[in-house]
Amino acid sequence: MPKRKMIRLVRTPDGVEVDSTGKKAGRGAYLHEQRTCWEQGLRGSLAHALKTELSTEDRERLEKVMDTLPEEAVSGE
């Protein structure tokens, strides 16, 4: 899947954030725009990709974003 159709997350000194511009400095990782992918990422693969531990605040912030995503990929993708 092209990067432009995915959501970039970036590790910053303030924690892990969603990078809507795709240009924030820091180690980045991409997740599909569907809840199941985020659930899997939050179980450990995201922290591994970003080479960091997700803090409680990071998890809460990312779970809020995850709750807005569709359960499965939109048809046609």
Range of the domain at 58: 3-66
pTM score of the predicted model:
0.85
Q: pLDDT, tens digit, for every residue of 63-72? A: 999 999 998 7
Q: Any idea what the CATH number is for the domain that residue 18 is in? A: 3.30.1230.10
> Coil, helix or strand for 48?
helix
For residue 60, is it within any domain? yes
Q: pLDDT, tens digit, for every residue of 14-45? A: 999 999 998 999 999 999 999 999 999 999 99
For residue 71, is it within any domain? no
Secondary structure of 22-56 in HEC code, one letter for each residue: CCCCCEEEEECCCHHHHHHHHHHHHHHHHCCCCCH
For the chain, what is the domain count?
1
